[in-house]
Structure 1
Amino acid sequence: MAPPDDLRDRALDLLSRGDMGGGIAGLEEHLAAAPGDGGAWLALGAAYAAVERWADAARALARGVDDARGVDDPRGVDDARGVDLDGGATEARLALARSLVHLGRLDDAIAELRKAAAIEPPDPRALRELGILLYDRQRYDEATLWLARACEAAPEDGRAAFALGLAHEARRDVAAAIAAYREAVRRAPAFADARLVLADALASIGEHEQALRELEALLARERTHEKAAHNREVLERALAEMRARRLLGKTERELARSALFVEAQLRRRDALPAPAGEAAARRVVRYAAPLLELYATFDARGGGGAPGDGVIEALHLALTDPDRAARSEDDVFKVTVIAEDGRQAPVNYATGASLTFLREALGCPMTQASALYAALLHGSPSVDWGGATLRFASVPGAAERPGGERHGLLVSLRV
């Protein structure tokens, strides 16, 4: 029988030359005689992983991971997946975690990656893979923390930034997700998936023009990218429809024909004082109905209408009796929403008017109007969507009118 060290060296040599079967057999024989050789267990685990014997790989790597100094032989040993087990404890735990993932033992893999991430200095791969596994387990807050660390540890790792964006989006923090996707694109301009999801995220908040720019950039690199081409066509149609429907940027004639105007039976009342120094450029017109008022700010510099008509740059909806509007049934706008149990539910007059106002002002679907309104109700000071800004505000100049200020929804074009 050959001495144990000779068996080990011969097995490592076979593995380095791609003879996985011979190398595995040699290491198994060596470890039968020298079961305390941690480095050999790690090498054997890497070899098992190379041939996708994941259960064997996990057992072997677990045996060797406590002696994670790796293979002493200066030649080292690489598996077919590029895991170099000559690198020490981090490499050993990474390899073990990856084998556990293949076995579906995600929580065990997370535990190994936590140990790998605790080794100083932290390996960016351990941070990134830990964040991704936490994301897979729907532990999104934890995932963002680890992925943010991975981005800091590896400033050029586009995939870490991409994964961070996915985690932020899962937490419904679209702004943070977009920032992370942009960073992924900056780090890896050829990363097609990053540009695709960035475009999707931008479109989800109504930024169709920016989304189209990202798709155009992707198609400039990959002219035959079918998904990008399809998404571009869809976005171009959606942008055209949004521009055709939205009241912002239109004239008083389009406002008078809108569903909001007709269904609420608004009537033109009076003009409020223009902002100081802008009398020649802007005018504010008030329209009234029994329970609401609408204030439209027209900018004559925008053109688009008859001389002096101007285009709408802001719309402000105010309820004249908010308590009564909240108690009254919406028998005017006839808006329904989807309840948590999946059924359609009617809303009160105040909600129906607000959702109809947002849909008409922005030219967006009712589902999007509902989401934007919910964001404001839940405390967001303002929301940007489709080149416009939404917020709660007091009506300009209303303090001079009997009854005091009017508070309501303000939608204005973003400069």
Structure 2
Amino acid sequence: MTPPEALRARALDLLSRGDMAGGIAGLEGHLEAEPDDAGAWRALGAAYAAEGRWADAARALARAVDLDGGEVDARLAYARALVRLGQLDAAAAQLRQGAAIEPPDPRVLRELGIVLYDRRDYDEAARWLARACEAAPDDGRAAFALGLTHEARRDIAPAIAAYREAVRRAPGFSDARLTLADALASIGEHEQALGELEALLARERSHERAARNRDVLQRALAEMRARRLLGKTERELARSALVVEAQLRRREQLPAPEAAGGGAARQVVRYTAPLLELYATLDAGGGPGSGVIEALHLVLTDPDRAARAEDDVFKVTVIAEDGRQTPVNYATGVSLTFLREALGCPMTQASALYASLLQGSPSVGWGGATLRLASVPGAASTPGGARHGILVSRRG
């Protein structure tokens, strides 16, 4: 009769040589004689998992954990099998116990965060993934998972930071760089997004998705530059929907402060219409109408009245949470039209930026521009007092 130790050794040898059926049969025979061999149960569970027999793997690995709960690899493998079976709560419970084993294994921290992400427990997932990133400074996948979690929480700034960290840790991790490019494009940073895609294509010239995304972004960037008023002249401003539909009229050129470094003074031109003022800051161009627009400042002269008035000029609608299209008031309609044309962005993006300002963000960056709520310099002495509104200016 073959001793159990010999059966075990032979079974492990068969598994190492790729004979999964022989190795599994050998371990099963060994465990009939030695049912308390935790290592053999763990090896049998791994063999079942390699064959895709996840229910069998879970049973074997559960037995290994029962026999030796301090073995991190067994608990980690058991949790992975539970995930394959769709038992996320049970998997999270196993990983929590694994994370309590000192010192914490970074793999356990990362996989617990991923399981919590899959359960849509995004806040807790972010905490565990942050721990995983600290415990394993070279783990690009932990940083990538943290970025996905932040993005699921609709917190794009830390998401982009995490994706950048994933790329730094693992320069060849193409999914991280692709996702970083997508995130940058989503906030209008098309140039930076293109840079990430070019870096990926420099490493993987045949990466079809990166090449396709690059072409899409190049077209989007060209279209955005063609539409946006920042960087254009008064000629383009005069043809914009904001000026035409609101019937804004060009008034006087106002005094402007000296440019930084003692350069020539900028030109500030004021446009007016009922309920509106628009201030266009131009660089020191060659004459009237030739200066490049550096900033645009939209002001509602009677905000309460504008908020009560129906938007029968721009006819802007927004999509409510229930999917219905809802008309907006005049104040919102003109503000969204202003942002869309000033930045050259889609209306959905203009809505998101406008919401950020209304929710108290001191400033918002998008597509090489900065948005903030500001008062008009020197307007406090004008009839009606200070003028306040949305200021959009070029960065750099």
Matching residue within 275, 282, 302 for 2:257: 275
Aligned to 2:38: 38
Corresponding residue SS for 1:66? helix
Aligned to 1:260: 242
Corresponding residue SS for 1:293? strand
Q: Relative to structure 2, which stretch is displaced further, 319-328 or 33-42?
A: 33-42
| Matched-pair contact (CA < 8 Å) for 1:93–1:113 | yes
State the identity as a percent. 81
Task: Kindly report which structure 2 residues correspond to 1:222-237, keeping only aligned pairs within 5 A, or say none.
Answer: 222-237=204-219
Q: How far, CA to CA, are the matches of 2:17 and 2:98 in structure 1?
A: 29
Q: Please report how far the alpha carbon of residue 52 of structure 1 lies from its aligned counterpart in structure 2 after TM superposition.
A: 2.0
Q: What is the aligned residue count? A: 394
Q: How far, CA to CA, are the matches of 1:185 and 1:124 in structure 2?
A: 19
Q: Please report how far the alpha carbon of residue 9 of structure 1 lies from its aligned counterpart in structure 2 after TM superposition.
A: 3.5
Corresponding residue SS for 2:93? helix
Change (3 A) 1:290 1:196: same
Change (3 A) 1:231 1:408: same
Task: Kindly report which structure 2 residues correspond to 1:109-120, keeping only aligned pairs within 5 A, or say none.
Answer: 109-120=91-102
Q: How far, CA to CA, are the matches of 1:204 and 1:68 in structure 2?
A: 48
Residue 298 in structure 1 maps to residue 279 in structure 2 = no
Task: Kindly report which structure 2 residues correspond to 1:115-194, keeping only aligned pairs within 5 A, or say none.
Answer: 115-194=97-176
Q: How far, CA to CA, are the matches of 2:383 and 2:370 in structure 1?
A: 29
| Matched-pair contact (CA < 8 Å) for 1:159–1:184 | yes
| Matched-pair contact (CA < 8 Å) for 1:296–1:315 | yes
Normalised to the residue count of structure 2, the TM-score between the two structures is 0.95
Task: Kindly report which structure 2 residues correspond to 1:47-58, keeping only aligned pairs within 5 A, or say none.
Answer: 47-58=47-58
Aligned to 2:353: 372
Aligned to 1:80: none
Corresponding residue SS for 2:280? strand
Change (3 A) 1:166 1:289: same
Corresponding residue SS for 1:122? coil
| Matched-pair contact (CA < 8 Å) for 2:113–2:126 | yes
| Matched-pair contact (CA < 8 Å) for 2:258–2:266 | no
Aligned to 1:75: none
Q: How far, CA to CA, are the matches of 1:101 and 1:375 in structure 2?
A: 37
Aligned to 1:362: 343
Q: How far, CA to CA, are the matches of 1:365 and 1:22 in structure 2?
A: 61
Q: How far, CA to CA, are the matches of 1:324 and 1:307 in structure 2?
A: 34
| Matched-pair contact (CA < 8 Å) for 2:233–2:289 | no
Letter in 1 for 2:226: A
| Matched-pair contact (CA < 8 Å) for 1:286–1:296 | yes
Corresponding residue SS for 2:183? helix
Matching residue within 326, 331, 344 for 2:307: 326
| Matched-pair contact (CA < 8 Å) for 1:39–1:67 | no
Change (3 A) 1:338 1:188: same
Q: How far, CA to CA, are the matches of 2:189 and 2:216 in structure 1?
A: 14
Letter in 2 for 1:380: S
Q: Please report how far the alpha carbon of residue 118 of structure 1 lies from its aligned counterpart in structure 2 after TM superposition.
A: 1.6
| Matched-pair contact (CA < 8 Å) for 1:268–1:287 | yes
| Matched-pair contact (CA < 8 Å) for 2:276–2:300 | yes
Aligned to 1:74: none
Matching residue within 361, 364, 368 for 1:387: 368
Q: Please report how far the alpha carbon of residue 269 of structure 1 lies from its aligned counterpart in structure 2 after TM superposition.
A: 2.0
Letter in 1 for 2:113: G
Q: How far, CA to CA, are the matches of 1:228 and 1:5 in structure 2?
A: 53
Corresponding residue SS for 2:35? coil
Corresponding residue SS for 2:318? strand
| Matched-pair contact (CA < 8 Å) for 1:273–1:397 | no
Q: How far, CA to CA, are the matches of 2:74 and 2:209 in structure 1?
A: 39
Residue 412 in structure 1 maps to residue 396 in structure 2 = no
Q: Please report how far the alpha carbon of residue 18 of structure 1 lies from its aligned counterpart in structure 2 after TM superposition.
A: 3.3
Q: Please report how far the alpha carbon of residue 33 of structure 1 lies from its aligned counterpart in structure 2 after TM superposition.
A: 2.5
Q: Relative to structure 2, which stretch is displaced further, 319-328 or 153-162?
A: 153-162
Q: How far, CA to CA, are the matches of 2:359 and 2:333 in structure 1?
A: 18
Aligned to 1:220: 202
Unmatched segments (≥5 aa) in structure 1: 70-87
Q: How far, CA to CA, are the matches of 1:6 and 1:227 in structure 2?
A: 52
| Matched-pair contact (CA < 8 Å) for 1:287–1:293 | yes
Letter in 2 for 1:232: R
Corresponding residue SS for 2:281? strand
Q: How far, CA to CA, are the matches of 2:127 and 2:68 in structure 1?
A: 27
Corresponding residue SS for 1:172? coil
| Matched-pair contact (CA < 8 Å) for 1:392–1:409 | yes
| Matched-pair contact (CA < 8 Å) for 2:15–2:47 | yes
Q: How far, CA to CA, are the matches of 1:30 and 1:371 in structure 2?
A: 63
Q: How far, CA to CA, are the matches of 2:394 and 2:152 in structure 1?
A: 29
Matching residue within 83, 87, 95 for 1:105: 87
Letter in 2 for 1:58: A
Q: Please report how far the alpha carbon of residue 276 of structure 1 lies from its aligned counterpart in structure 2 after TM superposition.
A: 4.9
Aligned to 1:20: 20
Q: How far, CA to CA, are the matches of 1:412 and 1:372 in structure 2?
A: 14
Q: Please report how far the alpha carbon of residue 10 of structure 1 lies from its aligned counterpart in structure 2 after TM superposition.
A: 3.4
Q: How far, CA to CA, are the matches of 2:5 and 2:194 in structure 1?
A: 62
Q: How far, CA to CA, are the matches of 1:39 and 1:364 in structure 2?
A: 59
Q: Please report how far the alpha carbon of residue 376 of structure 1 lies from its aligned counterpart in structure 2 after TM superposition.
A: 1.3
Q: Please report how far the alpha carbon of residue 308 of structure 1 lies from its aligned counterpart in structure 2 after TM superposition.
A: 7.8
Change (3 A) 1:361 1:134: same
Change (3 A) 1:59 1:318: same
Q: Please report how far the alpha carbon of residue 150 of structure 1 lies from its aligned counterpart in structure 2 after TM superposition.
A: 1.2
Normalised to the residue count of structure 1, the TM-score between the two structures is 0.90
Corresponding residue SS for 1:36? coil
Q: Please report how far the alpha carbon of residue 352 of structure 1 lies from its aligned counterpart in structure 2 after TM superposition.
A: 0.5
| Matched-pair contact (CA < 8 Å) for 2:234–2:289 | no
Q: Please report how far the alpha carbon of residue 228 of structure 1 lies from its aligned counterpart in structure 2 after TM superposition.
A: 1.1
